[in-house]
Amino acid sequence: MLLTRANDTYLVSIDNSLYISRDLIEWKRVLRLRPSNIIWHACNTSEGIIAQEYGEAPTRLYVSSNDYSWKPLLSNVDLDPKSRHFHYIAYDSYRDIVWITLGDGNLVRLAWVKIKGNRVKYEAAYRGPWQFVPIYIEENKLILGMDSGIAPGGIGIYSPEKNSMNVTFLEWPGIRHAQMTHIAKVQELWLATLGVPGAVITSKNLVTWYLIHVDRPIRCYNMMLSTKENMTVVCTGNKLMIIPLLRIMNMLNARKAKKVMYKLSRTRELILKLKGFAFILKRIEEYG
């Protein structure tokens, strides 16, 4: 899994190890985790590269200023002792912080960390029942893809200035939990990958989503996508796909794309909110 490129170096995560290369020929292992864990995401920041561990608790964020020497920054337990692991990290250049999603079954779902030299500051941003993985950052808001065990799917929109989260609940008929693994925007078009089902979907408004590709059978929970101005590259469980943006736009304009995810009815939305409230009460009791 190619995580990122920074300072003329490439970072690749294989099994429980993180490797680095300057020429894509010679590789050096710079980080090794416990056998059950992986480095899932990484991002470039003003203070260096941060890599995110995923797996059994505790998982950690690791930071490097020179690509070769890495040190732990903080663990998911530091943010929420009931959490299992980190889900995703993304650097926010507008606020010079790194946003973090985490789970499972805990209350702190979104947090941020700021590094300035040897000083590290972190804080929970959103506590609640709704769990997320991917983060897309805009100047005034964050867009988060849902990865919930109590909701069929959805999109969260978080305002850092107002410290508020608004959730739109979505469903894919026949799929119990449509869990997003990546979300991106190209021009005015939203693109996302789902782990279950293994699919690539697109939307113009974050509410109604259309199918681009689906793996049958599902071979890979962790689909990844990368976007450029005129295309998107998707790594599925069994292939590498290059999809021109024009092809996606033509599918939508010709109404040839299949609508697969859309907003829940108000009645079902209300039922989900009641389930979320019950979740919070139960977790508050467990936290003591």
Domain extent, residue 23, equals 1-128
285 is a domain residue: no
247 is a domain residue: yes
| Coil vs helix vs strand at 147 | coil
Tokens standing for 192? 């996302």
The domain boundary residue, chosen from 84, 108, 128? 128
3 is a domain residue: yes
The domain boundary residue, chosen from 63, 94, 128? 128
Class of residue 12 by CB neighbours under 10 A (exposed 0-12, middle 13-18, buried 19+): middle
Same domain assignment for residues 156 and 255? yes
Tokens standing for 96? 């010079």
Q: How many CB atoms lie within 10 A of CB 63?
A: 21
Same domain assignment for residues 148 and 254? yes
Same domain assignment for residues 197 and 139? yes
Same domain assignment for residues 51 and 64? yes
The domain boundary residue, chosen from 84, 105, 128? 128
Sign of CA dihedral 177, 15, 135, 191: negative
| Coil vs helix vs strand at 213 | strand
Same domain assignment for residues 135 and 98? no
Q: Are β-strands 85-92 and 97-103 bridged in parallel, bridged antiparallel, or unpaired?
A: antiparallel
Same domain assignment for residues 171 and 268? yes
Total number of domains in the chain: 2
286 is a domain residue: no
- In this prediction the pTM is 0.94
Name residue 154's amino acid: G
| Coil vs helix vs strand at 13 | strand
Same domain assignment for residues 103 and 178? no
pLDDT tens string for the chain (288 positions)? 666 777 688 899 999 999 999 888 999 999 999 999 999 999 999 999 999 999 999 999 999 988 789 999 999 999 999 999 999 999 999 999 999 999 999 999 999 999 998 899 999 999 999 999 999 999 999 999 999 999 999 999 999 999 999 999 999 999 999 999 999 999 889 999 998 788 999 999 999 999 998 887 555 566 778 887 787 888 776 778 888 888 888 888 888 889 999 999 999 999 999 999 999 999 988 886
H-type alpha helices, 204-265: 245-253
Q: What distance, in Å, lies between the first and last C-alpha atoms of the chain?
A: 40
Same domain assignment for residues 77 and 148? no
Same domain assignment for residues 107 and 171? no
CB 248 within 8 A of CB 241: no
207/262 Cα distance (integer angstroms)? 6
Same domain assignment for residues 150 and 121? no
CATH number of the domain to which 5 belongs: 2.130.10.10
Same domain assignment for residues 199 and 74? no
**What counts of helices (H) and strands (E) characterise the chain?**
3, 24
103/101 Cα distance (integer angstroms)? 7
284 is a domain residue: no
Same domain assignment for residues 74 and 18? yes
